[in-house]
Amino acid sequence: MQIESFFENFLNKESIFLDKNVLLSSYIPEDILYREEQLQEVANILAPALRTEKPSTLFIYGKTGTGKTLSVKHILKSLGEIAFKNKVPLKPIYLNCKLKRVADTEYRLISQLIKEFGQDVPSTGLPTDEIYSIFYKLLDQEKTVVLLVLDEIDQLTKKIGDEILYNLTRINSELKNSQICLIGISNNLIFSENLDPRVRSSLSEEELIFPPYNAIQIQEILRERSKKAFKSEVVELGVIEKCAAYSARDHGDARRAIDLLRVAGEIAERSGSSLIKIEHLDDAEKKVETDKIINAVNNQPKQFQGVLYSILLISPQKKMFYTGEIYEVYKNICKQTKFNILTQRRVSDILAELDMLGIINAKIISKGRYGRTREVSLSIEESVIIKIKEIIEKSLHIS
């Protein structure tokens, strides 16, 4: 009965959203604000591809949420359309190297490329050279210019080294018909510094930096999006300003700002409000953070959760604790749960990863005569801690 009336209400109530897709990260707007210069630059560099000449390899740097991916995708799209219209054999390919199990290893990257050409290769079992030669053959069948965009390329080289990049640049000299042009996108500004010199010189012929947006620009971007995403007049005054301020505070991450606005909208709608108010935004910020963390915890292996659990166990007693203490508690937990005990070496790595995820705060300090260690503290709120604890207890079957 109650449920029924709830659904009735839900149907009758007007949504405050006009088109929620506009606020998703997959959305590519028609105009990209404040990026005219960069777009033009990228276009200039890639344009020769339309005459089936090989464009210079391009590297794009910039922090997260500065419109790198968006701009490149935009250009690829229009480039592809023009090429199609004029029957230019141009093949734009976009790959995100960070996606787990898609393009995060040499093998998978190449096999993904082969898939783009419409052939399927097994996900494992073949030697890497094999898929390289399949790729070569496929590529050289007919004259094409391939524009290969590797997003988050820094993650790729961090994980498996820069050999692939070398191989990819070498492909050109082996092919008769086709050309391949690399476009790398990196969050890390000093990415190319720890690259093999051979790779670096042949790779970064052109470089482009996307500066962060400032607060006013983010406001404008948010206004533009919210015009399309929400019905008119539903966003209360000051919400957009505050939303922009939130993300301009660290480095002007537009994606985060848009995310925040969307979640605020969802919260407002769920609470039955016809307006998006500042308090919804505050809730949204909390929710975005906790969701991110909970998601991260869920996706980690068991041992990982075990280490985190030991930290959660110590945390009520102390504010700061060291690797050694955590390891002791962790060993006890392993005994209880009949898990095999990992070495301290590994636990040390796991702690570093937890730090990266922002779940803990780890600082390496030297206590002089008494050694060198990580000084760890939890960097999440009480309510989140409890939630995580429950999740882990469930997944590790701790009573």
Instruction: Between 87 and 101, name the residue whose CB sits nearer to DNA.
Output: 101
**Minimum distance of DNA from residue 364's CB (angstroms):** 5
d(CA 347, CA 351): 6
Task: CB nearer to DNA: give 232 or 343.
Answer: 343
Two structure tokens written together for 301: 């292996």
Minimum CB–partner distance for residue 110 and DNA (Å)? 9
Identity of the residue, 46 or 153, whose beta carbon is nearer to DNA in the bound complex:
153
**What is the smallest separation between the CB atom of 25 and DNA, expressed in angstroms?**
23
Smallest distance from DNA to CB 182, Å: 19
Residue placing its CB nearer to DNA in the complex, 2 or 366: 366
Taking the complex as a whole, the smallest distance from the CB of residue 122 to DNA amounts, in Å, to 3
CB nearer to DNA: pick between 134 and 222: 134
Three-state SS letters, the chain: CHHHHHHHHHHHCCCCECCHHHHCCCCCCCCCCCCHHHHHHHHHHHHHHHHCCCCCCEEEECCCCCCHHHHHHHHHHHHHHHHHHCCCCEEEEEEECCCCCCCCCHHHHHHHHHHHCCCCCCCCCCCHHHHHHHHHHHHHCCCCEEEEEEECHHHHHHHHCCHHHHHHHHHHHHCCCCEEEEEEEECCCCHHHHCCHHHHHHHCCEEEECCCCCHHHHHHHHHHHHHHHECCCCECCCHHHHHHHHHHHHCCCHHHHHHHHHHHHHHHHHCCCCCECHHHHHHHHHHHHHHHHHHHHHCCCHHHHHHHHHHHHHCCCCCCEEHHHHHHHHHHHHHHHCCCCCCHHHHHHHHHHHHHCCCEEEEEEECHHHCEEEEEEECCCHHHHHHHHHHHHHHHCCC
* Cβ proximity to DNA, 17 vs 321, nearer residue: 321
CB of 398 to DNA, least distance (A): 17
For DNA, the closer of residues 4 and 370 by Cβ is 370
Rounded Cα–Cα distance for residues 112 and 168 (Å): 14
Q: Which is nearer to DNA, 106 or 154 (CB)?
A: 106
Strand-pairing partners, residue 179, are: 145
Q: In angstroms, give the least distance from the CB of 73 to DNA.
A: 25
Q: Which is nearer to DNA, 137 or 346 (CB)?
A: 346
Contact 358, 379 (CB under 8 A): yes
**Minimum distance between the CB of residue 199 and DNA, rounded to whole angstroms?**
17
Which residues contact DNA (rule: CB under 7 A)? 100-101, 104-108, 122-128, 301-304, 322-325, 327, 340-346, 348-352, 364, 366-374
Cβ 264 to DNA shortest distance, Å: 34
